[in-house]
Amino acid sequence: MAQTPTGPRIGTPGDGPTEIEQQTATGMVARMPMVRHDATDRAAVSSHDPLSIARRLCAERRMRDRMFGPLMLEGGTWDILLDVYIHAEQSMPVSISSACLGVGVSSTTALRRITEMEAADLLKRTPDPQDRRRSFLSLSDHAMASMRRYLSQMNHD
């Protein structure tokens, strides 16, 4: 594995900067030490033993970090994003209060995470035209594309 000044490099030597290196260079995500797995490791991930499951979970978390940044690891954030994605794919609106209830954290924490995701251009808030006290959440175009890409890649692993 090729080494960078700050740790292991992902990808094949000579194939240019990896996605995580490009994102790190632009300040999108913090560099995290990552290990490249060979074909034997990837084959083992598909089995159901605890070690393989742990490896897959680590790989999924690294992929999520690369696509969405470390923001997604904080309490309830990923769950909110998944909930809004599921509703969007079913063409169903999701209210902010509904999103807050389904994540297993306090309403205050959930609202803080929603505000952070809005600032990161992952979520959009739209007022309910029928009830000004209520707003609906939707994914930004960028977040929808990232979710579809992330879930497609998970499906192929």
For residue range 91-134, list pLDDT tens digits in order.
999 999 999 988 888 899 999 999 999 999 999 999 999 998 99
pLDDT digits (tens, 9 = 90+) for 49-67: 888 888 888 888 888 888 8
Average pLDDT of the residues in 32-52: 53
pTM: 0.63
With a cut of 50, say whether residue 10 has pLDDT above it. no
- Where do the domains of the chain lie, and which CATH numbers do they carry? 17-70 (no CATH), 74-146 (1.10.10.10)
* Residue carrying structure tokens 């490791």: 41
H or E element, residue 146: helix 141-156
H or E element, residue 88: helix 77-89
39 or 94, which is more confident? Answer: 94
Cα–Cα distance between 25 and 155 in angstroms, integer?
29
Structure token digits, residue 143: 């977040």
Separation in Å, CA 127 to CA 94, 114, 136? 11, 15, 6
